[in-house]
Amino acid sequence: MQQLLSPSWPTTAALAERIAETRPRPHHAALLATLAKMLPDLDFQYRRSVGGWYRSGAVRSPGGSLLNASLEDWLELRYQQHDEDFAAVLRELVETQPVVTRLNGCIHYFVAQYAPGASSFWQVEVEELQEVFERRLLPNDPNPNDLQDLLEPLQPASITPQPVAAPRYRLSRLVDVRVLLDSQANDDPVQRFIREWQIGSAADQPLCKHWLVQQQESLDVFHQRQTRLRMLAVRERPLQSFPWSLHERGLALASQLQAFERLAGYRGAWYFHLIAGASVPAELAQHLLDDEQAGFHYLPDREAALLRRWVESPYSC
């Protein structure tokens, strides 16, 4: 996480601490109040949540007492303390019956525009985590052979995923999006997306009202960490069920574009969702271009120019 730039602002560590002290509430009212108090020069607004993921938790006693935050570290310690005698480790586990937990997660996105320009906004990403019981450490397989069989059992002894504690917030990222994009190559797809937003019909609206910049991390073949940027739509879910009828042409197709724009909340939305997300089928681009060449000029000049450029050099992000 980067350090905040203004000397009058708190450090990122101080902000993370205050966020961790804030108890999750419906609509994130308490968290928004924390951001307003810590960063009074900015007006943060909630935009979207992405959930349904989890990560490894801890190892605990059957009563819930914490044994170690890392199952792997705890098992390795037990193995060493038993002089690398795996059978002795198993005997201890049969006696103590420890349990493994997981962290169910959801990430919430908040934004605050700080200057003119599509990318001139702060984006705060806050995880909401809840630790729940996942399985007994000893698997259903009666004969585990090594520590790996305990870490990743083929037949895990699943238990009811009851909460260990109340949900909590954790600051994941605090990003100046303009600085982030300036660090990317000029031909990065997200860079092109931002440039096109600024010349499209939606240029009078803040980009961060409708789109977020998501960082996806992975390891390359050399095990070096790579970060890829992609655009994340604020209203992606309701738009994904839009009933496109691509057999229609002319004014009927123009009416679909207008209905999609009303649902999205800004002009030219169909073009940007063609590039990012899964709300607009790629075939739409050629149908629109065919209509234009057939003499149907229902597209605004800005979007028509963007569409022609995209058909010649398509991209996605």
Nearest to 245 by CA among 256, 235, 236, 261: 256
**Domain co-membership, 255 together with 301:** yes
**Domain co-membership, 236 together with 275:** yes
Which pLDDT band, with edges at 50, 70 and 90, does 298 fall under?
A: very high
Bridge partners, 131 (sequence order) = 103
User: Cβ distance 60 to 99 under 8 Å?
Assistant: yes
- For the stretch 143-161, pLDDT in tens is 899 999 999 999 999 999 9
**Domain co-membership, 60 together with 169:** yes
Which pLDDT band, with edges at 50, 70 and 90, does 212 fall under?
A: very high
- Residue 132, pLDDT above cutoff 70: yes
Cα distance between residue 253 and residue 26, in whole Å = 40
- For the stretch 236-271, pLDDT in tens is 989 999 999 999 999 999 999 999 999 999 999 999
Domain that holds residue 262: 184-317
- Residue 131, pLDDT above cutoff 80: yes
Backbone angles phi and psi of 79, in degrees to 5: -65, -45
**Domain co-membership, 77 together with 194:** no
**Domain co-membership, 161 together with 189:** no
**Domain co-membership, 161 together with 213:** no
State the chain's mean pLDDT as an integer: 93
- Residue 1, pLDDT above cutoff 50: no
**Domain co-membership, 34 together with 141:** yes
Of 174, 195, 228, which residue is a domain's last?
174
- For the stretch 287-297, pLDDT in tens is 999 999 999 99
Give me Rg for the CA atoms of the chain: 25
Residue 2 within a domain: no
Beta-carbon contacts of 93 under 8 Å, excluding residues fewer than 6 positions away, are 137, 138, 150
**Domain co-membership, 155 together with 219:** no
- For the stretch 13-37, pLDDT in tens is 999 999 999 999 989 999 999 999 9
Percentage of the chain modeled with pLDDT above 90: 86
pLDDT at 99: 97
Of 174, 201, 227, which residue is a domain's last?
174
Mean pLDDT computed over 191-216? 96
Cα distance between residue 47 and residue 167, in whole Å = 20
**Domain co-membership, 190 together with 150:** no
DSSP summary character for residue 283: H
Number of domains observed in the structure of the chain: 2
Mean pLDDT computed over 40-47? 96
Residue 6 within a domain: no
Alpha-helical runs (H) found in 39-175? 71-81, 86-96, 147-151
User: At CA 211, angle to CA 208 and CA 214, rounded to 5?
Assistant: 105
Lowest mean pLDDT among 40-54, 91-105, 209-223: 209-223
